[in-house]
Amino acid sequence: MFKKIWLKIKNIFAAKLPATSKQQRIFINKQLNHYESNYQFFETSDAKIAYFVREDEKKEPKKNVLFLHGMTEDSLNWFYAVEYLYIKSSHYRSFALDLPGFGQTQFENESVINLHRYVEIIKEFLDYHNIDKINLVGHSLGGQTAGLFAYHYPDRVEKLILVDTAGLRRFNVLASAFFKAMPVPGNMLKQISYLDWVKLLSNTTMVEDEAVFRKSFYDVAIKRKNNITEYIITRNYQKLLQDGLKRVSAIKKSMSAMLEPTTYIDDKLPKLSIPICFLWGEEDKLVPLKYGIQGYDSIHSMNKKIFVFKKTGHYPLLERPRDFAEVVFNFLEQ
């Protein structure tokens, strides 16, 4: 079965993953504090959206890019890709924002944790910055949101990059109801024990026990651990400790939002005519590769590409940051 899938992947590869020379390596450790201490805020009627931007203010941007993070994460997940684009070309202006419920974005009512509301917030964000068209890059939850935005506002999107995105696999009513009760996507539940299920249903356990948090969200999802993945995991757990049960509730709310029938994008992507690129980890157990292939196959337009990162899990942007950033750059440049 796996061999057949892999042969199919080889046939639809748009290109080999590009080689990157040592001179192109970007050492990002010095940039972490820069991003975390330079958030800006954009206020809507129901949230105060945190975001950061990287640009050469002396030059007029030719390409605007907006990065949307996945569930349990925030905008800092993109710091390597953002920095890479900045160094490769001074004509890029890259934004990464914290969706409501995550990062430093502030909100009063959890009703804002809604994918349709996310779509409208992105539109308001673009209008605020006088951006007519944007290149959208979304991972997991952010990919589902990006696809939903492109469907509702196709004239506002130049190119769409979907990274191990959610919203391509549909669940029936009973499965959806069960998954909504837990902050872990369905396929992950197959990887953890029944005892862990009980711990997850007890909201306080996830806050009090870092081992449960790591096992439930990252140990299975990440295949190539490195200093970047460890930094992000530790940082996200510290954020969970800081926010407590409010954070747990936001994670569960976002899971419910992803499972709403109107937010699935498997039936929406085929209706798009914009260039679309799928980036996937070969060993993603959270959103298996076969759903990325199905999404790719469903698009009738020739303006599509797919890249698969070998021996990589759900987070190619963190597990293979240099290769990932190079693929994104090349697709945006075409």
Amino acid at the residue 9: I
277 found inside a domain? yes
324 burial class (0-12, 13-18, 19+ CB within 10 angstroms)? buried
Over residues 163-167, mean pLDDT: 95
- For 240, how many CA atoms within 13 A lie in the half-sphere containing its CB? 25
User: Can you give the pLDDT at residue 189?
Assistant: 46
291 found inside a domain? yes
pLDDT digits (tens, 9 = 90+) for 285-302: 889 999 999 999 999 888
Tokens 């050492």 locate to: 27
Q: Is 94 helix (H, G, I), strand (E, B) or coil?
A: strand
- 72, two tokens: 């349990």
- For 143, how many CA atoms within 13 A lie in the half-sphere containing its CB? 23
- 267, two tokens: 């039936």
Please give the tally of structural domains in the chain: 1
Amino acid at the residue 68: L
User: Can you give the pLDDT at residue 250?
Assistant: 85
53 found inside a domain? yes
17 found inside a domain? yes
Over residues 50-57, mean pLDDT: 91
Inform me whether the pLDDT recorded for 243 exceeds 50.
yes
DSSP letters of 200-247?
Answer: HHSHHHHHH-HHHHHIIIIITT-SS--HHHHHHHHHHHHHHHHHTHHH
- Ranked by mean pLDDT, the top range of 8-22, 197-211, 238-252, 302-316 is 302-316
Per the CB < 8 A criterion, the answer to whether 80 and 317 are in contact is yes
CA-closest candidate to residue 72, choices 193, 163, 183: 183
197 burial class (0-12, 13-18, 19+ CB within 10 angstroms)? middle
79 found inside a domain? yes
Tokens 């759903």 locate to: 291
pLDDT digits (tens, 9 = 90+) for 75-118: 999 999 999 999 898 899 999 999 999 999 999 899 999 999 99
CA distance 161 to 143: 8
Tokens 């769409």 locate to: 160
CA distance 101 to 71: 9
Average pLDDT taken over every residue of the chain: 83
User: Can you give the pLDDT at residue 216?
Assistant: 73
Instruction: Look up residue 16 and give its DSSP letter.
Output: P
Residues 6+ apart with CB under 8 A from 26: 80, 83, 84, 87, 322, 325
pLDDT digits (tens, 9 = 90+) for 200-233: 445 555 566 787 778 777 888 899 999 889 988 8
Inform me whether the pLDDT recorded for 139 exceeds 50.
yes
CA distance 326 to 334: 12
Over residues 268-295, mean pLDDT: 95
Inform me whether the pLDDT recorded for 2 exceeds 80.
no
Lowest mean pLDDT among 106-110, 153-157, 177-181, 270-274: 177-181
CA-closest candidate to residue 153, choices 186, 131, 172, 171: 131
User: Can you give the pLDDT at residue 240?
Assistant: 80
First to last CA, the chain: 34
Percent of the chain at pLDDT > 70 equals: 78
234 found inside a domain? no
141 found inside a domain? yes
**Beta strands 92-97 and 40-43: pairing type?**
unpaired
Lowest mean pLDDT among 86-100, 132-146, 191-205: 191-205
pLDDT-derived band at 14, boundaries 50, 70, 90: very low
Inform me whether the pLDDT recorded for 269 exceeds 90.
yes
pLDDT-derived band at 177, boundaries 50, 70, 90: low
CA distance 80 to 194: 36
DSSP letters of 260-313?
Answer: SGGG--TTTGGG--S-EEEEEETT-SSS-HHHHHHHHHH--SS-EEEEEETT--
CATH at 139: 3.40.50.1820
251 found inside a domain? no
pLDDT digits (tens, 9 = 90+) for 17-52: 444 444 445 555 445 666 777 899 999 999 999 999
Domain assignment of residue 98, given as a range: 2-173+263-333
User: Can you give the pLDDT at residue 174?
Assistant: 58
